[in-house]
Amino acid sequence: MTELKNDRFLRALMRQPVDRTPVWMMRQAGRYLPEYRATRAQAGDFLSLCKNTPLACEVTLQPLERYPLDAAILFSDILTIPDALGLGLYFETGEGPKFKHTIRSESDVAALPTMKAEVDLDYVMNAVSTIRGALNGRVPLIGFSGSPWTLATYMIEGGSSKDFREAKKLMYGQPEVMHRLLDHLADCVIDYLNGQIRAGAQAVQIFDTWGGVLSSWAYEELSLRYMKKIVDGLIRESEGRRVPVILFTKNGGQWLESIADSGADAVGLDWTTDIGNARARIGDRVALQGNMDPAMLYAPPERIRQEVADILRRFGSGPGHIFNLGHGITPDVDPEHAKAFIEAVVELSPEYHQ
């Protein structure tokens, strides 16, 4: 593989010295960019774009052409695994992802097939290897998956949910069935992420989007437990260097210590957690990623710059911080405001690494 020209992101994940704080954005390849919208129109729809290797590569690289980012993230979707398991993923305009089939019973779970990611999701692996080649060592490539709990909520509800009623019916009414589902999904995620690593991903992130809807004991038992299993099952060294793992639980601030003990190298923070407080609690054990409120990108550029300065100040000096939003960038953000955010990190962070 080509030598990595910018390893700032990987070094920060390992809490090693860097010259400035690395920065990337969740959903950095997305609808806020006019060039993305044009490529998606060319593909026909979102899922077709994910499965079109040249176009998935193209949109992954688009934000790097605009901004001085320190990482690329695979363009895909967290729901590729349920789709590969036969649930029939589709997208309805304005309503988000939906499934033709749901998982509601013991027999539904028992009928789920064993997934072989490098066969059943070969289009993802093809995208990873193609993107790595196109990056040519420019920045590292991040692979990702949804967490078992997050995947399970979509599979049980049949799509997005406001109250997760069906998922909670299953977890409280038939806990043994829920655990079997989560265990199966953990095995799928291990296989999926290891496939991405073998294809060229240099770091991986587990998105636990809906862990924060659980009670404290349920989070530990139904979300974190299975993410720990995944971390334990991952390839942790490739191409002669460590493959760092980031765990991101939205609304997970109350469980930071437990997440830090998972074996992951970094913990992603949403915007509801003060990063200075998080560093005091767990920053000597793991790197921290985050955590500006994505809505701050609606503010004027000077206000965005002030917020970046404040988050850098609250984290303080030294390594172990990857600057990011506290969740994904929203579709109606002005790309110039994203530029102001990223350039502020580049310009203001070096003083914290002297």
327 is in an annotated binding site: yes
Let me know: does 291 contact 270? Beta carbons within 8 Å: yes
77 is in an annotated binding site: yes
**Catalytic site residue from 37, 66, 77, 108:** 77
28 is in an annotated binding site: yes
**Catalytic site residue from 154, 192, 219, 226:** 154
Burial state string for 281-307 with b = 16 or more CB within 10 A and e = fewer than 16 = bbbeebbbbbbbbbebbebebeebbeb
The number of distinct structural domains making up the chain is 1
In a domain, 114, yes or no: yes
Residue 209 CA, chain-centre distance (Å), reads 9
In a domain, 167, yes or no: yes
Boundaries of domain holding 260: 8-291+320-330
In a domain, 314, yes or no: no
The string of pLDDT tens digits covering residues 315-350 is: 999 999 999 999 999 999 999 999 999 999 999 999
**Catalytic site residue from 11, 20, 40, 305:** 40
The string of pLDDT tens digits covering residues 149-178 is: 999 999 999 988 999 999 999 999 999 999
Active site residue 180: no
In a domain, 166, yes or no: yes
In a domain, 297, yes or no: no
In the predicted structure, residue 1 carries a pLDDT above the cut 70: no
30 is in an annotated binding site: yes
203 is in an annotated binding site: no
Q: 0.95 exceeded by the pTM?
A: yes
What pLDDT score was predicted for residue 3? 87
CATH number, domain with residue 258: 3.20.20.210
Active site residue 31: yes
Active site residue 187: no
State whether the Cα torsion 346-144-246-10 is positive or negative.
Answer: negative
**Catalytic site residue from 27, 104, 132, 305:** 27
Q: Is 21 helix (H, G, I), strand (E, B) or coil?
A: coil
Active site residue 305: no
